[in-house]
Amino acid sequence: MTHHDKLALPVGTTLDRFIMRKQEDFPYATGELSQLLRDIALAAKIVNREINRSGLIDIAGAYGNRNVQGEDQQKLDVIANIRFIRALRNGGEVCTIVSEEDEEMIQTGNVQGKYVVAIDPLDGSSNIDVNVSIGTIFSVYRRVSPTGGEGTEQDCLQTGTHQVAAGYVIYGSSTMLVYTTGNGVNGFTYEPSLGEFFLSHPHITSPKTGSIYSINEGLSNDFTEGVREFVAYCKQQNYSARYIGSLVADFHRNLLKGGIYMYPATLKAKKGKLRLMYECNALSFIVEQAGGKASDGQQRIMELQPQSLHERCPFFIGSTELVEKAEEFMAREFADLLETK
């Protein structure tokens, strides 16, 4: 390589260019899904800016303070919700949005839109004010109702196997967008000086096993017997306990390094805490495309039929061997329960 070549090394593949090249992956779409992914990336850039500015503004303003203009200041998670809804509404491809921040379906007014998006605009938002990584999680479905009208609950309450795309954005030491359309998983890192996402992690493959377990052990008194025994097994194997409290951050680390993330059912929360529609399904699609596994302890997450927009479910996700080992302990517990009845 000559000295002149070194002065102008290629910067890499941008997200936009990558999406354009991959349009042939969607035989039934004529660019709509590509546009939708671009809309999400645009909103992610704006939210990234807001998050990076948050240290300079009064985050406590989220709790009722007013700014110098006399306006109520908003939480970053509310701001993120507004940004993503606005980008998806303006993009024109989405008829309906299910958001963690809104109890009801959000109709965008795009009656010709062919897609439904389920989204957690800012996951882990309790970590915002302590400068810990947070994220966005999204899941995309093709609507089943005819175009020309508003999206329906039937459009939203599809099993995860019907997802056409899913991804997450992690806002950390660098900002990354990771997504799949059912043809593998690719990660893009944001370059703020150029305002572009660049392909940095092509063809992400998760290790078959790992030595990290991620669970909130503060809840251990409420764990069922199977979960307690599996955690004890992890300790016997000298696995490392890593738990940030931001689902995206914990999942991202384990996806790349190998491990298992768990948010099980507890005695108090019989269906766990995490939401099937816009947290569990999206990450399950990603992990399966990367060679991993996701389960509710007994069955595949993506085969669960959601009954409501904000339905919760137990969640075990990560390296295939670790998830299957967790399922063994859960099956043993289930068998013991049957014997005692």
243 is in an annotated binding site: yes
pLDDT by residue (tens digit) across 266-296?
A: 988 889 999 999 999 999 999 999 999 999 9
Residue 124 assigned ligand-binding role: yes
Spell out the residues 6+ positions from residue 226 whose beta carbon is closer than 8 angstroms to its own: 297, 329, 330, 331, 332, 333, 334
Say if residue 81's pLDDT is above 70. Answer: yes
The values of phi and psi at residue 213, to 5°, are -125, 140
Is 123 among the annotated ligand-binding positions?
yes
Query: Tens digit of pLDDT for each residue in 215-247?
Result: 999 999 999 999 999 999 999 999 999 999 999
The answer on pLDDT for 131 being more than 90 is no
For the chain, domains (ranges, CATH) are 11-201 (3.30.540.10), 212-340 (3.40.190.80)
With contact defined as beta carbons under 8 Å apart, do 159 and 306 qualify?
Answer: yes
Does residue 191 have a known ligand-binding role? no
213 carries a ligand binding annotation: no
**Was 120 annotated as part of a binding site?**
yes
Does the annotation list 81 as a binding residue? Answer: no
In the structure, what pLDDT confidence band is assigned to residue 125 with cuts at 50, 70 and 90?
confident
- Would the annotation count 179 as a binding residue? no
- The answer to whether 119 and 278 are in contact (CB under 8 A) is yes
Q: Are 145 and 154 in contact (CB under 8 A)?
A: yes
